[in-house]
Amino acid sequence: MPDGDYPKARSSLNELFHCMIGAGWQWSYLSEDMPIEPNLTLGGLPSARNYTPGSQQAYAAQNIFVSTNAKLIKIAMIDVDGMEHREFYVNILTTFRINE
């Protein structure tokens, strides 16, 4: 089938997603685990953090959603429990800024 027949899904540390009008944090595919209210401030903006513990089949993961100007930014991190990765993730989170 031609590419135009299916929506394309892309993944990125800072890809912008459009929020659905009137939607809260719970719109996402993680809706059961997402907080109702922001539980993190990232780059001065209210954000929602979701943690998924690791298992034998998958690494622990953390997703952070930041809303700004009717856009939702998703930051996805895997293997967040590994100490060798923690410094890298902390650096991303402490230096995160949106330039508009």
Domain assignments of the chain as residue spans, ordered by start:
12-95
d(CA 79, CA 74) in angstroms, rounded, equals 17
Ranges of residues in the chain whose predicted pLDDT is under 50? 1-17
Element (H, E) at 90: helix 83-95
**Residue 24: how many CA atoms within 13 Å on its side-chain side?**
8
How much is the pLDDT for 75?
A: 87
Residue whose structure tokens are 């954000």: 47
Cα 21 to chain centroid distance, Å, stands at 19
Give the chain's mean pLDDT.
73
pLDDT of residue 25: 54
pTM exceeds 0.75 for this model: no
Q: Phi/psi of residue 97, each to 5°?
A: -145, 150
pLDDT value of residue 21? 53
